[in-house]
Amino acid sequence: MAGGGGKPGAGSSAGPGTDSYAAMVERAKGLIPELRDRAPRTEELRRLPPETERALHESGLFRIVQPRRVGGSELDYVALVDCADALGQADASVAWNFANLASHHWMLGMFDRHAQDAVWNANADALIASSFIFPAGRARKADGGYVLRGHWPFSSGVESCEWNMLAGVVSSDDEADGIEYRIFLLNRSDYRINDTWNATGLCGTGSNDVWVEDTFVAEKMTVSVSELTGGPTPGSEVNPNALYALPVFSLFPYVLSGVGLGNAQACLNDYVEFARHRASTYNRAKVSDLQTTQIKIAEASAKIDAARLVMRTNCIEAMDDARRGRVPDLAGKTKLRRDGAFSVNLCTEAVSLLFAASGARSLFTSGALQRQFRDAHAVNSHLAFNFDAAGTNYGRVALDLPSENLTL
């Protein structure tokens, strides 16, 4: 896995330059052969196979950004990119669920300790799903908490999870109070799962719908988005590492950007291997001797390398800023969102380029290329990677207009 390095800042013991960090990335790489072989079955099941889920647990990968005080690795944030990059070179669906579910241990570390204890005291390995589509949920204030209802799509890996973080809008009878964006942590007994995930890409993620009907959620089992914009959070008292002081939704794209990166890298690796050993079907010319082949490899690899550099640099710099107590201003936050979308778009462009260059062989369902193409475009369809949205908001802020992203 190529890409930028960077030493961890002061006070870090699990950053990109440490042995423990490198060991965890190597564990992810070590899973590539078996996960790649299992990819067709993962698509058929439409969720992670039990043996894949077990391997991710046994490797410790689900817990890479979980607080050390409960047995997690507490690695730097860029670990999500690097490990998803490795797993994505095997199967984007596995990498997607890994990154999603691992990141929720990081987010839970920012909740009130009561919420952390409710989950981790019972089972430190418990998996937590999510759906951060705020308009999908509506909540009203009640004595000691909130009453929540809603219907959320795209809750990836939800069948494997004991808990779920669901986003909602809190409204008040007093119009002067306005509305509030808040995240609610619910046990599986408090929501219903609808099996709706029949998709053309990321088929194995089991990103099903979740329903909640007027369920009470205690105040301490929730967190306001305004508490996750950078700096101390409700969880800082027990989790003082700078990892838990990062601006959550500014860095949101990088939870999943490594998936698109690894998928594109796998596509490039496969194409190079094909080109080295094949001859044209029609004139038997060596594919490797064709100038067009050489140019396509150069262009795709440049896009992938540039994407990796952008992703990793932004995550490493964000950690360095957090260690120094610095929170990016609105312009900096919109830049993070812009770069997250742009870098994944580069990966999608690289896959599309290689798919087109592969000719008729790309059409066979028995090969990995068609899955890599479908998965690349499925990753790119996530709102976090919509460059029109991220670019518009970046441009608005650059022009001194109000931001349209209410989570930053």
In this structure, the answer to whether residues 86 and 143 fall within a common structural domain is no
| Domain stops at, among 97, 125, 153 | 125
Do 162 and 150 form a contact (C-beta atoms < 8 A)? no
Distances 125 to 23, 122, 208, 223 between C-alpha atoms, Å: 20, 9, 22, 21
pLDDT level of residue 178 (50, 70, 90 thresholds):
confident
Question: 221 and 333 share a domain?
Answer: no
- Residue 39, domain CATH: 1.10.540.10
**CA–CA separation, 340 vs 343, rounded Å?**
5
pLDDT category, 339, cuts 50, 70, 90?
Answer: very high
Question: Is 137 found in the same domain as 121?
Answer: no
- 283 part of a folded domain: yes
State the CATH number of the domain containing residue 145: 2.40.110.10
**Mean pLDDT in residue range 160-189:** 89
Same domain, 367 and 257: yes
Alpha carbon 4 to its chain centroid, in Å, reads: 20
H/E element, 314: helix 291-323
How far apart CA 379 and CA 58 sit, in angstroms, is 26
Shared-domain flag, residues 36 and 108: yes
- pTM above 0.85? yes
Identify whether 362 is part of a domain. Answer: yes
Instruction: Indicate whether 120 belongs to any domain.
Output: yes
Q: How confident is the model at residue 353 (pLDDT cuts 50, 70, 90)?
A: very high
Packing angle, helices 330-357 and 369-380, rounded to 10:
160
In the prediction, which pLDDT does 3 show? Answer: 36
- 248 in the Ramachandran plot: left (φ > 0), alpha (ψ -120 to 50) or beta? alpha
Q: Is residue 101 part of a domain?
A: yes
Instruction: Give yes or no: residues 296 and 365 share one domain.
Output: yes
Count Cα neighbours of 332 within 13 Å in the Cβ-side half-sphere.
Answer: 13
The kind and range of the H/E element at 342 are helix 330-357
Q: Give the separation between CA 185 and CA 107, rounded to whole angstroms.
A: 11
Same-domain pairing of 369 and 380: yes
User: For residue 278, what are the domain limits?
Assistant: 253-398
Does residue 172 sit in the same domain as residue 192? yes
Whether 391 and 267 map to the same domain: the answer is yes
Estimate the crossing angle of helix 253-277 against helix 369-380, to 10 degrees.
Answer: 160
Q: Which residues in 175-228 belong to E strands, given as ranges?
A: 179-187, 192-194, 208-218, 222-224
Indicate whether 147 belongs to any domain: yes
- The string of pLDDT tens digits covering residues 55-114 is 999 999 999 999 999 999 999 999 999 999 999 999 999 999 999 999 999 999 999 999
Do 361 and 306 sit in the same domain of this protein?
A: yes
Q: Does 5 reside within a domain?
A: no
Query: 192, 211, 227: which is the final residue of a domain?
Result: 227
**Count of C-beta atoms within a 10 Å radius of residue 388:** 8
* Residue-level pLDDT at 11: 41
CA angle at residue 100 from 87 to 228, to 5 degrees? 135
* Assigned domain for 291 exists: yes
CATH of the domain at 333: 1.20.140.10
Can you tell me the distance from the alpha carbon of 188 to that of 384, in angstroms, rounded to the nearest whole number? 26
* The pLDDT of residue 223: 98
Whether residue 261 is found in the same domain as residue 391: yes
Q: What are the tokens at 144?
A: 């000691």
Q: Please state the domain count of the chain.
A: 3
Do the strands 222-224 and 179-187 form a parallel or antiparallel pair, or are they unpaired? antiparallel
Q: How far is CA 180 from the centre of its chain?
A: 24
Averaged pLDDT, 343-353: 98
What token pair was written down for 200? 């053309």
Q: Which of 100, 125, 150 is the last residue of a domain?
A: 125
- 177 and 211 assigned to the same domain: yes
Longest dimension (CA), the chain: 77
Averaged pLDDT of the chain: 93
- Asked if residue 13 belongs to a domain, the reply is no
* Rounded alpha-carbon distances, angstroms, from residue 267 to 264, 270, 285, 348, 356: 5, 5, 23, 10, 12
